[in-house]
């Protein structure tokens, strides 16, 4: 009995150590309104891979706050196919579903097979397989976590996605991209001057951002696969706050060449500049609605920073935010139904507005939050927070219940942006 | 280092040998008069030869620490974009320089403290730079001699979030074209 206990402890600590190798570690506080109990059995042969799949699936589902994962060590012997499951034991452990699978060599790589079984009915809810190379195993695990998430919660998953952010260490700025769980970070750009506002193109192939390499803000577009980059807006004065149109062909940008901050549209190659906003001294932080019909933005035309909305041709501006004296940095949810933004409500905090009811909920209680963006499934909001003067990334569920904090090893992490689901 | 020490010794010896301390300019490149015996105003501001820098260093009026033109910072009150009266003299001096040197161009860099969102602070910094520009316009300086840009909260002079630090970060900086920046 003692040996079994020791083995369980060892297995658990191995699970933890795989998390500790992340470039950023993630702490989770809070749980969702309901938690689905799921058993995840280690996949056959997965420990022969450099990256085992079930620890990643476990971390993804646990981090969402919506799942209670029942440990692998509690299910022995470990089943590797539906016929091997001991339903009585599994149900007794409190699980409602079980994920099982296997990894087998196949045609120059591997084949990953996965089942999600409903334990009460004994029916497979998902039966899935794909081919993958050794280096793709993390990606496959995130895909499986997304499949489980969609099947059980009814909402799309967002585990198989990436985030972009700026890491500042002393006088060095790095624009980095990593998986949504903080693994696999790569520096896209390294600079001695500030970099700001990374924004993902809708297809995830490019980032637009603001670089101060020319001693003033200039908007660049950067192709991730090739490293090719070009100026999308480098006019006299400041050029900043890029936002992609939903079809990926245009950027809304803010230029000051007219004498005040105004919103313009420009093709992503920098051609065909058109002015959209006029009047007031500050019109900035444009964000398109997902259907492309509207641009939400921040304006001081009413005397303080508030959120407004105009048609995407610049006509018909209406005010959207009415609570408090400072509302800015608005972004739309992927389904267009909600707005996240920063409100000054004690401190600068992340808020969410239901666009049909115009009801606002403040989701955080910190002092200096910034840069909120929705996950591609609209369920979580990624943002920048400050702890002890240092920038950290954090996430909060759209109902405020689940909170995550992502801690980088060193430096200030700022200006995060959540990218689309990877294909 | 050795070179510097040697020239220090040399200039100290030269100074010691003179009966009255008359500033000599062995490597004068400015070409303007360095006499300080007359009480009448010279038409161009004299340049200063500073012997305390280790090597002889010549300042122009833009970098002469005794000249208001070497002051390049305008500070702003919280939530304010108006050039305070205590900075009017500085802005007027730069306007005069720009009006008499039509080839000179400046960049006005606007900055904020760290409160609020970074993107909105770019717009606020821009407003500060533009308010200095507007004052220069009123004083006759055309826009083709001025570019206004913003650094928002991205380039603070000091890190920290005390009110004293914030005061020092809320500013517009005047940079003449051709000068090295950070």
Nearest CA in chain B to A299: B120
Classified as helix, coil or strand, A222 is strand
Distance CA B144, CA B131 (A): 16
Virtual torsion, Cα A90, A92, A94, A100, nearest 10 deg: 0
Distance CA B27, CA B49 (A): 9
Residue B28 lies in a domain: yes
- What total number of domains does chain B contain? 2
Distance CA A325, CA A345 (A): 9
Domains of chain A: 31-153 (3.40.50.10070), 161-421 (2.120.10.30)
Size of interface A-B (CB pairs under 8 A): 97
Residue B12 and residue B80 in one domain: no
Nearest CA in chain B to A262: B123
Residue B52 and residue B86 in one domain: no
Residue B14 and residue B98 in one domain: no
Within its chain, how far is the Cα of A407 from the centroid? 15
Q: Are the beta carbons of A285 and B148 separated by less than 8 Å?
A: no
Q: Are the beta carbons of B107 and A216 separated by less than 8 Å?
A: yes
Distance CA A70, CA A272 (A): 56
The answer to whether A345 and A324 are in contact (CB under 8 A) is: yes
Residue B116 lies in a domain: yes
Which residues form the domain of B165? 71-176
Residue B82 and residue B50 in one domain: no
Residue B130 and residue B172 in one domain: yes
Give the A-side interface with B, CB within 8 Å.
194, 196-197, 210, 212, 215-217, 236-238, 240-241, 254, 256, 259-261, 281-282, 284-285, 298, 300, 305, 326, 328-329, 342, 344, 348, 368, 370-371, 389, 414-415
Q: Which of B14, B30, B58 is the last residue of a domain?
A: B58
Residue B13 and residue B87 in one domain: no
Rg (C-alpha) for chain B, rounded Å, is 20
Residue B66 lies in a domain: no
To the nearest whole Å, the CA of B93 is away from the closest chain A CA by: 23
pTM: 0.85
Residue B181 lies in a domain: no
Residue B86 and residue B39 in one domain: no
Residue B43 and residue B81 in one domain: no
Residue B167 and residue B107 in one domain: yes
Q: Could you give the C-alpha distances from A261 to A14, B122, B136, B155, in angstroms and in order?
A: 53, 9, 19, 20
Residue B129 and residue B97 in one domain: yes
Residue B89 and residue B155 in one domain: yes
Classified as helix, coil or strand, B93 is helix
- pLDDT of chain A, 423 residues: tens digit per residue: 555 555 454 444 333 333 334 567 788 888 888 899 999 999 999 999 999 999 999 999 999 999 999 875 566 788 998 889 989 888 888 999 999 999 999 988 999 999 999 999 999 999 999 999 999 999 999 999 999 999 999 999 999 999 999 999 999 999 999 999 989 999 999 999 999 999 999 999 999 999 999 999 999 999 999 999 999 999 999 999 999 999 999 999 999 999 999 999 999 999 999 999 998 889 999 999 999 999 999 999 999 999 999 999 999 999 999 999 999 999 999 999 999 999 999 999 999 999 999 999 999 999 999 999 999 999 999 999 998 888 999 999 999 999 998 877 788 999 999 999 998
To the nearest whole Å, the CA of A282 is away from the closest chain B CA by: 6
Which of B107, B138, B149 is most worth mutating to test chain A (most A CB atoms within 10 A of its CB)? B149
List of residues 6+ apart from A387 with CB closer than 8 A: A405
Nearest CA in chain B to A171: B155
Nearest to A261 among B114, B123, B160 (CB): B123
Residue B143 lies in a domain: yes
CATH code at B136? 3.30.1330.60
Which of B111, B123, B159 is most worth mutating to test chain A (most A CB atoms within 10 A of its CB)? B123
Distance CA A369, CA A343 (A): 9
Nearest CA in chain A to B177: A215
Residue B148 lies in a domain: yes
Residue B64 lies in a domain: no
């Amino acid at each position: 009995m003692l040996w079994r206990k020791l083995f369980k402890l060892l297995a658990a600590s191995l699970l933890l150590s795989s998390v500790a190798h992340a470039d950023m570690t993630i702490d989770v506080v809070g749980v969702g309104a309901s938690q689905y109990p799921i058993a995840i059995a280690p996949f056959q042969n997965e420990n022969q891979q450099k990256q085992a799949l079930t620890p990643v699936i476990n971390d993804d589902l646990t981090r969402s706050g919506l799942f209670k994962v029942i440990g692998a060590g509690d299910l022995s012997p470990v089943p590797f196919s539906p016929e091997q499951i001991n339903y009585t034991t599994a149900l007794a452990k409190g699980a409602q579903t079980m994920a099982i699978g296997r990894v087998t060599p196949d045609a120059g790589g591997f084949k990953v097979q996965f089942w999600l079984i409903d334990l009460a009915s004994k029916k497979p809810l998902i039966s899935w397989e794909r081919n993958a190379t050794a280096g793709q195993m993390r990606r496959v695990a995130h895909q499986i976590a997304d499949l489980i998430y969609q099947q059980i919660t009814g909402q799309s998953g967002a585990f198989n996605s990436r985030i972009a952010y700026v890491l500042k260490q002393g006088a060095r700025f790095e624009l980095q991209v990593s998986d949504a769980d903080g693994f696999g970070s790569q520096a896209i750009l390294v600079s001695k001057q500030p970099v700001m506002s990374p924004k993902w193109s809708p297809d995830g192939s490019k980032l637009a951002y603001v670089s101060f390499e020319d001693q003033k803000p200039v908007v660049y577009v950067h192709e991730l696969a090739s490293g090719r980059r070009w100026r999308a807006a480098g006019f006299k004065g400041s050029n900043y706050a890029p936002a992609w149109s939903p079809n990926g062909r245009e950027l809304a940008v803010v230029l000051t060449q007219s004498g005040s901050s105004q919103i313009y549209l420009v093709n992503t190659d920098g051609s065909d500049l058109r002015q959209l906003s006029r009047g007031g001294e500050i019109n900035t932080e444009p964000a398109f609605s997902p259907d492309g019909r509207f641009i939400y933005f921040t304006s001081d035309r009413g005397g303080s920073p508030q959120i407004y909305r105009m048609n995407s041709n610049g006509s018909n501006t209406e005010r959207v935010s009415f609570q408090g004296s400072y509302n800015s940095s608005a972004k739309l949810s992927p389904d267009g139904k909600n707005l996240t933004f920063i409100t000054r409500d004690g401190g600068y905090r992340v808020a969410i507005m239901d666009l049909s009811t115009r009801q606002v909920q403040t989701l955080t209680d910190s002092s200096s939050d910034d840069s909120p963006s929705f996950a591609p499934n609209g369920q979580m909001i990624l943002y920048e927070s400050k702890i002890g003067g240092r920038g950290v990334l954090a996430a909060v569920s759209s109902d405020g219940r689940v909170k995550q904090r992502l801690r980088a090893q060193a430096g200030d992490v700022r200006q995060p942006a959540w990218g689309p689901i990877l294909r | 280092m050795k070179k510097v020490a040697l020239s220090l010794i040399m200039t100290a010896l030269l100074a010691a040998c003179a009966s009255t301390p008359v500033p000599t300019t062995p490597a004068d490149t400015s070409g303007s008069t360095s006499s300080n015996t007359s009480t009448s105003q010279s038409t161009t501001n004299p340049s200063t030869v500073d012997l305390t820098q280790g090597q002889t260093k010549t300042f122009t009026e833009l970098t002469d620490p005794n000249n208001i033109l070497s002051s390049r910072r305008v500070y702003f009150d919280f939530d304010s974009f108006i050039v305070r009266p205590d900075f009017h003299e500085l802005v007027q001096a730069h306007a005069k320089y720009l009006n008499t040197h039509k080839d000179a161009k400046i960049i006005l860099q606007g900055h904020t403290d760290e409160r609020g969102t970074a993107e909105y602070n770019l717009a606020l910094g821009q407003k500060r730079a533009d308010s200095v520009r507007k004052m220069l316009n009123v004083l006759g300086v055309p826009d083709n001699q001025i570019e206004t840009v913003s650094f928002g909260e991205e380039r603070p002079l000091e890190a920290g979030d005390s009110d004293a630090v914030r005061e020092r970060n809320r500013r517009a900086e005047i940079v003449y074209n051709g000068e090295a920046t950070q």
